[in-house]
Amino acid sequence: MRATLRKTQQGLVLFIALIVLVAMSLAGIALLRSVDTGSIISGNLAFRQAAMHTGDLGVEAARSYLMGVSPAANLYADNAGAGYYAQWAEGLDLLGNKTATTSDDFDWSTAINVTSPTPPAGYTVSWVIHRLCQQTGDPASVTCVKQTGASSTTGGGTKGAAAFGTMAISVPTNALYRITVRVLGPRNSSSYIQAVVF
């Protein structure tokens, strides 16, 4: 009777145990990969957020440049060496998103790099300013995106609801200025930040 029982089993339990072992191994590998992917995604998001916050350095550096230009007529012409353009450069691709052609891409090697205050280790912050006018020249005689109100006013202590005190831009506010900041960071992270100031 015992010999008959042994012949009928033929190792079926071993076969089922091997199948369960393979299934558990695959589940364990899938779990490890999902945890690893989650860690990579959260790390990339952290780098991206850090790059966004670092971009404030570029906005403030460009704003300081605008505040230091005197007389204001110096803002009527391009000053590429200082990262300033007196026109909005219609058709210029600041972000390099148009993959069909690169001929209209902005050359970020000509932008101004922020050196003070020093960006965090591993980050490069560059900025460029475009005056939102169709062409160079006096904003009174060319088409510009202008703030509401009189075009002859100058920057004061209050703009709308925000009070800037002595830090307000003191250039004529009859044209707006677009600041574009590019931040390059670790793991090939990059962020672009734009701010419009007057």
Nearest to 130 by CA among 79, 185, 164, 95: 79
With b for 16 or more beta-carbon neighbours within 10 A and e for fewer, the 139-167 pattern comes to beebebbbbeeeeeeebeeebeeeeeeee
For residue 79, give both structure tokens.
Answer: 């000053």
pTM: 0.67
DSSP state of 143: -
The predicted-structure confidence for 126-151, as pLDDT tens digits, reads as follows 999 999 999 998 888 888 887 655 44
The predicted-structure confidence for 13-49, as pLDDT tens digits, reads as follows 788 888 999 999 999 888 877 777 777 777 777 777 7
The predicted-structure confidence for 101-134, as pLDDT tens digits, reads as follows 677 788 888 899 999 889 988 899 999 999 999 9
- Report the C-alpha gap between 169 and 21 in whole angstroms: 70
How far is CA 176 from its chain centroid? 21
Q: Which of 48-57, 137-146, 153-162 has the lowest mean pLDDT?
A: 153-162
For residue 145, give both structure tokens.
Answer: 């995106």
Per domain, the residue ranges of the chain are 2-197
